Structure 1
Amino acid sequence: MSKKINVNVIGAGVIGLTTALILQRNGYQVEILSEHWPGDLDINYSSPWAAATWRASLYIKDERVQEYERISWNEFWTLSENPETGLMRVHIYDFMDKKPDFGSDIWFKDFVPEFRVIPLEELPSGVEYGVSYITVSLNVQKYLQWLLDQFIASGGKRKKIHLSHINESFFADNEIDVVVNCTGVNARTFSGVMDKTVFPSRGQTISVWAPHIKNNQDSFTFVVPRKGGEVILGGTMEMNDFSENPDPKTAEEIIQRCVKLCPELTLDKNLQIIRHNVGRRPYRTNGIRIEVEIIKNSTNKDVIICHNYGHHSYGYSSSWGSCLEAFKLIEENIQRNIKVDQICD
């Protein structure tokens, strides 16, 4: 590019940070605008609460999401070689109460290591189907901070700010060429977006100290080990639930389910609970929104607005793929605008 394209990214969750890093590394001048940052633990900041394992869902038939997850898998596998990222390789056992209708093939079986369908006789009681393979688990606090550090080291800028309307990110600043809306679940109430197809999917988990757990058990009940000895027990998926506080009864049920699935948790008899967690996944009825619109600023200049939100429970798993898609869409629209300007000149 002959001129630096100035971009504001709204939101510093995993989608905002990944999008900003990709753009900054590709020659754009990017600033992230966000009220919440890595290290914050706020219910309206979804990314720090995720259990975060790359887990390919057998239920998702959306080929677009599958491609996002494949791209993200390749990136995570490489990043897991770097201890600073907070990523570690683990063996996952993915159990399902009912055998999913996934057609004649399992789309990810050829690229994840050690994939196998678990024989019926090896499955836990009450489970109809299961697969196992090597995957990547993320210590989300460490990974989010790593993304931010990489972004800053690449020349990116950051601003802690509360925005009430998307126009506040560009309208009065004639230098801004692109805005990327990565507001997640907040896209529902963010003025100028107000996407009522977005609503929270509440998830409750428990962080425990269990460094002896090295394998990942997954289903609606999950046991996710992280680097350093912390293990996340879950979980729940409560649609359109806005409650913020952990429910003690739910916590006890989670523990009982997880211990039944993974008896090694109580090897030392008592679970050492670190904290109880409640987060809000950004569910969107029509799936991930990655699309562009053009809005005029105060001087009648065209500003590219790229939306990238609505990732629900697969935000981390699809992050690199979906953010690369947003990047490509931005590039296409910039080139289109350049051609239009040349014709007008």
Structure 2
Amino acid sequence: MRKSSLPLAASFYIDYHNFFEEILGEILTDILIIGGGIIGLSLAIELKLRGAQVTILSSESHQAAATAAAGMLAPQAENIPPSPMLDLCLQSRALYPEWIGKLETITGLTTGYWPCGILSPVYEQPEVTYNKQLTLNSQWLDKDAIHQHQPGLSNEIIGGWWYPNDAQVDNRALFQTLQIAAKKLKIDISQERVEEIIRSGTKVLGVKTSSGELQANHYILATGAWSNQLLPVPVYPKKGQMLSVCPPPETPPIIQQLQMVLFGDESYIVPRKDGQIIIGATSENVNFTPGNTPWGIQALLSRAIRLYPELQHYLIQEFWWGFRPATPDELPILGYSAWDNLTLATGHYRNGILLAPVTAIMIADWIEQHKSDPLLSHFHYSRFADSGAPHH
């Protein structure tokens, strides 16, 4: 039908609508985020606060990486060598206080952010007792010093590193805070499973969901361990089993004995302010096999008790598991993709919670301004030769 044959009001509406679409299209960006975990929510909130129109599609998996975590913000305790990855992690750790403050102001909730420091005890004398990350704040503690610093450690502990700038956040509280913040900001969260990303050449045309097809100006893939089910990216699940314990009820109401995270060689112990203690985590290549296993729980308990013997008297509260999004080099996949209107934010492996604020800011900068932080180039998908994606 020709435009001239339309009623005057309808013709005016079309002209008016098209005009404002052209004028405001760059300001009110229509962005669809596939994935409603820590990364997807963080991105949605950052983009919304910048004025974008954002929709999240989430299948609401209870086995996501957000659950297989203890919320450690531990770039130093993880002993990440000097590298772009360390730079990215340190930058994100530095963003945390302000980022958490913003989320807590929006929601009125608390996230359990606690700059408690992290202690890395060792059973054997290292070959050299100096910090490889020489420019960072850390301290080597000998046997006497470390047992004075944290009473209750195993007598097998002969020393360790103290990282006062490492911290923790309650991952479940953070996840809930992000969900509430998204709702308060009126971000559309649709509990739909994405079945297919519809592509043609170097463009994404839309997504097929359990209830139909959806289109957007721009798409972000943030589906964690499930990313490879939608696009040929080298992300695969690494299962992590965890558990929590608490002091027995007859324990005197004294200040929590454990006042810092203990990061051992094969386990970590994370005390919360409410007295709960998180013990983690296994790292298993078992695809998406669900559930806790006797081997996994026994391994966690034996390693944790060896590190901090008092735990053998504590009460077990809960077991759980989840799937971390691993990549072949254990580094995230961030930035633009082989499809012009699709950005990648996946593969964070063990550091998704730590990297949430820096991922949100860098990806938002890229989508909003085409401003690419120099660090992003180190995490581009093209470092994997066989990405299966079309080339420009």
- Could you state the TM-score of these two structures normalised by the residue count of structure 1? 0.79
Residue equivalent to 1:89: 115
RMSD: 3.1
Give the AA of the match of 2:47: L
- In 2, the alpha carbon distance for the partners of 1:259 and 1:66 equals 30
- Distance change in 2, residues 1:199/1:273 (3 Å): same
| Of 203-212 and 98-107, the range deviating more from structure 2 | 98-107
Q: SS at 1:88's partner residue?
A: coil
Residue equivalent to 1:216: 261
- In 1, the alpha carbon distance for the partners of 2:322 and 2:158 equals 27
Residue equivalent to 2:333: 289
In the TM superposition, residue 76 of structure 1 has moved relative to its aligned partner by 2.2
Q: Does 1:167 align with 2:198?
A: yes
Give the AA of the match of 1:171: G
Residue equivalent to 2:297: 251
Alpha-carbon displacement from aligned partner over 1:4-31 (angstroms, at most 9, x marks no partner): 1111111111111111111111111111
Q: What does 1:195-344 correspond to in 2, within 5 Å?
A: 195=233, 197-210=234-247, 212=256, 213-219=258-264, 220-266=266-312, 269=313, 271-286=314-329, 287-293=331-337, 295=339, 304-333=341-370
Give the AA of the match of 1:186: W
Alpha-carbon displacement from aligned partner over 1:171-211 (angstroms, at most 9, x marks no partner): 27786211110011101222xx032x222222111111248
Residue equivalent to 2:136: 109
Residue equivalent to 1:181: 221
| Of 54-63 and 77-86, the range deviating more from structure 2 | 77-86
In the TM superposition, residue 104 of structure 1 has moved relative to its aligned partner by 7.2
- Distance change in 2, residues 1:187/1:324 (3 Å): same
In the TM superposition, residue 79 of structure 1 has moved relative to its aligned partner by 5.4
- 91, 94, 97: which one aligns with 1:77: 97
Whether the 8 Å contact between 1:68 and 1:320 is mirrored in structure 2 is no
In the TM superposition, residue 323 of structure 1 has moved relative to its aligned partner by 2.5
Structure possessing the higher radius of gyration over alpha carbons: 2
- In 1, the alpha carbon distance for the partners of 2:162 and 2:299 equals 24
Q: SS at 1:118's partner residue?
A: strand
In the TM superposition, residue 52 of structure 1 has moved relative to its aligned partner by 1.4
In the TM superposition, residue 92 of structure 1 has moved relative to its aligned partner by 1.4
| Of 169-178 and 10-19, the range deviating more from structure 2 | 169-178
Whether the 8 Å contact between 2:75 and 2:166 is mirrored in structure 1 is no
- Distance change in 2, residues 1:64/1:102 (3 Å): farther
Q: What does 1:54-73 correspond to in 2, within 5 Å?
A: 54-57=73-76, 58-61=78-81, 63-73=83-93
Whether the 8 Å contact between 1:94 and 1:218 is mirrored in structure 2 is yes
Give the AA of the match of 1:51: A
- In 1, the alpha carbon distance for the partners of 2:128 and 2:50 equals 40
Q: SS at 2:359's partner residue?
A: helix
- In 2, the alpha carbon distance for the partners of 1:141 and 1:279 equals 13
Whether the 8 Å contact between 1:185 and 1:281 is mirrored in structure 2 is yes
In the TM superposition, residue 64 of structure 1 has moved relative to its aligned partner by 2.9
Q: Does 1:49 align with 2:93?
A: no
Give the AA of the match of 2:141: I
Residue equivalent to 2:15: none
Alpha-carbon displacement from aligned partner over 1:278-328 (angstroms, at most 9, x marks no partner): 111110114211132364xxxxxxx61001100010111122112222222
Q: SS at 1:228's partner residue?
A: coil
Runs of 5+ consecutive residues of structure 2 not aligned to the other structure? 1-22, 147-153, 208-212, 248-254, 373-392
- Distance change in 2, residues 1:108/1:231 (3 Å): farther
- 2, 21, 26: which one aligns with 2:50: 26
- Distance change in 2, residues 1:106/1:120 (3 Å): farther
Whether the 8 Å contact between 1:12 and 1:32 is mirrored in structure 2 is yes
- In 2, the alpha carbon distance for the partners of 1:5 and 1:247 equals 46
| Of 16-25 and 51-60, the range deviating more from structure 2 | 51-60
- Distance change in 2, residues 1:182/1:175 (3 Å): closer
Q: Does 1:194 align with 2:240?
A: no
Q: SS at 1:84's partner residue?
A: coil
| Of 16-25 and 123-132, the range deviating more from structure 2 | 123-132
Q: SS at 1:85's partner residue?
A: coil
Identity of aligned residues (%): 18
Give the AA of the match of 1:66: L
- Distance change in 2, residues 1:176/1:101 (3 Å): farther
Whether the 8 Å contact between 1:65 and 1:318 is mirrored in structure 2 is no
Whether the 8 Å contact between 1:6 and 1:28 is mirrored in structure 2 is yes
